[in-house]
């Protein structure tokens, strides 16, 4: 999984201008993020048509505010530079919930 550098929303849309991307918003201190992290390689393997990018919420706090990411872990799908789906809340997410979301989104 790629790691997103510090970036703003406008530059993010440019960076994701071609293709399908799944942004995984997380933080090291977040217990619910640590819960889903071990499943991420399997999820990434299943959805090979998408590029997965990990976004450190603390490193990109301004980006999270611009995008309205109010809880982590959260997932936002972009296609050709535009957001097409989001699974954003502060609840713990299971592998099955993330896969259901991605089945509908990508």
All structural domains of the chain, each given as residue ranges with its CATH number in brackets, are 2-105 (3.40.30.10)
**Is 30 one of the annotated active-site residues of the chain?**
yes
Q: Which residues contact 80 (CB under 8 A, 6 or more apart)?
A: 16, 17, 18, 19, 20
**Over residues 69-84, mean pLDDT:** 94
The pair of three-digit structure tokens given for residue 102, joined into one six-digit string: 């991605």
Instruction: Choose the catalytic residue: 33, 53, 67, 76.
Output: 33
pTM of the model: 0.93
**Whether residue 106 has pLDDT greater than 90:** no
Instruction: Choose the catalytic residue: 16, 22, 30, 64.
Output: 30
**Whether residue 60 has pLDDT greater than 90:** yes
What does the pLDDT read at residue 90? 78
Kindly state the percentage of the chain with pLDDT values over 70: 100
101 class by beta-carbon count within 10 Å (0-12 exposed, 13-18 middle, 19+ buried):
middle
What does the pLDDT read at residue 91? 82
Q: Name residue, tokens 């849309």.
A: 13
**Is 33 one of the annotated active-site residues of the chain?**
yes
Beta strands at 74-79 and 51-56: parallel, antiparallel or unpaired = unpaired
Rounded Cα–Cα distance for residues 21 and 84 (Å): 10
């Amino acid at each position: 999984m790629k790691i997103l550098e510090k970036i703003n929303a406008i530059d993010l849309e440019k960076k994701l201008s071609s293709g399908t991307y799944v942004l995984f918003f997380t933080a090291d201190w977040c217990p619910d993020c640590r819960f889903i992290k071990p499943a991420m390689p399997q999820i990434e393997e299943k959805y090979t048509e998408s590029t997965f990018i990990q976004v450190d919420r603390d490193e990109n706090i301004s980006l999270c505010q611009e995008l309205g990411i109010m809880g982590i872990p959260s997932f936002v799908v972009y296609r050709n530079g535009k957001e097409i789906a989001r699974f954003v809340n502060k609840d713990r997410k299971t592998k099955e919930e993330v896969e259901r979301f991605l089945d509908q989104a990508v």
